[in-house]
């Protein structure tokens, strides 16, 4: 098993370190020592010597990242930057087991925690999850109240973990419909994590794609009425800047995953999904784990994204 060299440069120093390499095919580990490369000095022999020693070594990992954490068969350079997920099938998962609906929602929350961890490990930059749609408000009052309480408890309980893991939390959707206590928890989570950069977790709660486009149009119309923009200024870029996904650097998902075997987008990110690759999983959301995520990512990496052009 061969690995390419990674040059690590620390200015004005040459430090002898010990590096643990990947296990060889036999499963045994081995160690090699080398000098970190000092920036070249004019005519200096020591820098050349250290550089040659460095080039002769095989370094296969970086601090904080173990190669074993990355799934075999996936290519790191082809990983999507933004993954969106429609979390479908919580209630059906519960009913199939003779359980009440709330048990499915709790199990679904645990699956979401696992997915967040996987995105952090595999360096996916944005994860947007369709947690509660505008249409979901028509469900029974008891179920809606349970879901709102679950959101509140989950955000509270995971906030410290998000801070520790450098996860930024944003919530998109019509927040005016949410309970006041949940609005306050969301505000605290967004404010306390806004500088985090490892993963941007976007929770779509009380969200609808049509509503998102409509509110963007209203905002643009308001600016036009006030004289801030002209008719000629209105284009796709301007609309994008008014959509709720303006909160992220990558507003367009590369991959959309929907669970539970349904083959529709259900009013989710209608503008943003224009060139997104779709993957439909048969399992209900609580059963969607690492193996299923790897399957979706593998499918994504096997596709050619042409954006209307040629191969």
pLDDT of 292 above 80: yes
pLDDT of 100 above 50: yes
User: Which residues does the annotation mark as catalytic?
Assistant: 88
Phi, psi at 46, each rounded to 5°: -65, -40
For residue 188, what is the enclosing H or E element? Answer: helix 180-193
Q: pLDDT band at 309, cuts 50/70/90?
A: confident
180-193 and 141-164 helices, crossing angle to 10°:
20
Own/partner pairs, 191-196, CB within 8 angstroms, 24+ separation: 192/159, 192/163, 193/159, 193/162, 193/163, 193/167, 193/168, 193/169, 194/168, 195/168, 196/162, 196/163, 196/166, 196/167, 196/168
Query: Which positions ≥6 away from 213 have C-beta within 8 Å?
Result: 239, 243, 270, 271
Q: For 230-281, what is each residue's pLDDT tens digit?
A: 999 999 999 999 999 999 999 999 999 999 999 999 999 999 999 999 999 9
Say what the pLDDT of residue 311 is: 64
Query: Could you tell me if 167 and 199 are in contact, meaning their C-beta atoms sit under 8 angstroms apart?
Result: yes
pLDDT of 25 above 60: no
Q: pLDDT band at 307, cuts 50/70/90?
A: confident
**Tokens at 19, concatenated:** 């590096």
Q: pLDDT band at 142, cuts 50/70/90?
A: very high
Three-class secondary structure of residue 272 per DSSP: coil
Say what the pLDDT of residue 17 is: 40
Q: What sign for the dihedral angle of Cα 39, 43, 49, 54?
A: positive
Three-class secondary structure of residue 281 per DSSP: coil
Q: pLDDT band at 66, cuts 50/70/90?
A: low
Query: Could you tell me if 153 and 127 are in contact, meaning their C-beta atoms sit under 8 angstroms apart?
Result: no
pTM of the model: 0.79
pLDDT of 14 above 60: no
Averaged pLDDT, 181-198: 98
Say what the pLDDT of residue 34 is: 36
Query: Could you tell me if 220 and 278 are in contact, meaning their C-beta atoms sit under 8 angstroms apart?
Result: no
Q: What is the dihedral of CA 291, 293, 294, 295, to 10 degrees?
A: 90
Averaged pLDDT, 160-179: 97
Say what the pLDDT of residue 21 is: 41
CA angle 186, 119, 188 (to 5 degrees): 15
Averaged pLDDT, 207-236: 97
Beta strands per DSSP E along the chain: 16-20, 31-35, 82-86, 126-133, 167-172, 199-207, 255-258, 277-280
Query: Could you tell me if 193 and 185 are in contact, meaning their C-beta atoms sit under 8 angstroms apart?
Result: no
Averaged pLDDT, 24-34: 35
């Amino acid at each position: 098993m061969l690995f390419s060299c990674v040059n690590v440069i620390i200015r004005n120093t040459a430090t002898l370190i010990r590096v643990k390499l990947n296990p060889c095919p036999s499963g045994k580990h081995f160690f090699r020592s080398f000098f970190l490369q000092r920036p070249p000095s004019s005519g200096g022999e020591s820098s050349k010597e250290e550089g040659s020693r460095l080039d002769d070594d095989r370094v296969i990992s970086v601090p904080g990242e173990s190669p074993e954490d990355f799934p075999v068969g996936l290519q790191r350079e082809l990983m999507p930057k933004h993954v969106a997920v429609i979390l479908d099938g919580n209630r059906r998962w519960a009913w199939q087991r003779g359980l009440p609906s709330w048990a499915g929602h709790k199990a679904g929350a645990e699956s979401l925690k696992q997915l967040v961890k996987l995105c952090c490990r595999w360096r996916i930059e944005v994860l947007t999850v369709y947690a509660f749609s505008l249409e979901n408000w028509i469900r029974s009052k008891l179920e809606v109240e349970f879901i709102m309480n679950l959101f509140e408890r989950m955000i509270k309980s995971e906030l410290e973990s998000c801070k520790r893991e450098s996860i930024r939390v944003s919530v998109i959707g019509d927040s005016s419909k949410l309970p006041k206590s949940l609005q306050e928890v969301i505000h605290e989570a967004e404010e306390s994590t806004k500088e985090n950069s490892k993963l941007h977790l976007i929770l779509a709660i009380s969200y609808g794609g049509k509503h998102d486009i409509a509110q963007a149009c209203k905002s643009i119309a308001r600016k036009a009425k006030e004289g801030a923009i002209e008719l000629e200024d209105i284009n796709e870029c301007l609309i994008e800047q008014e959509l709720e996904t303006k909160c992220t650097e990558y507003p367009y998902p590369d991959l959309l995953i929907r669970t539970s075997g349904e083959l529709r987008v259900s009013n989710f990110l209608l503008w943003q999904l224009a060139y997104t690759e779709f993957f439909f999983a048969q399992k209900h959301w609580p059963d969607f784990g690492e193996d299923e995520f790897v399957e979706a990512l593998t499918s994504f990496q096997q596709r050619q994204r042409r954006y209307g052009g040629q191969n």
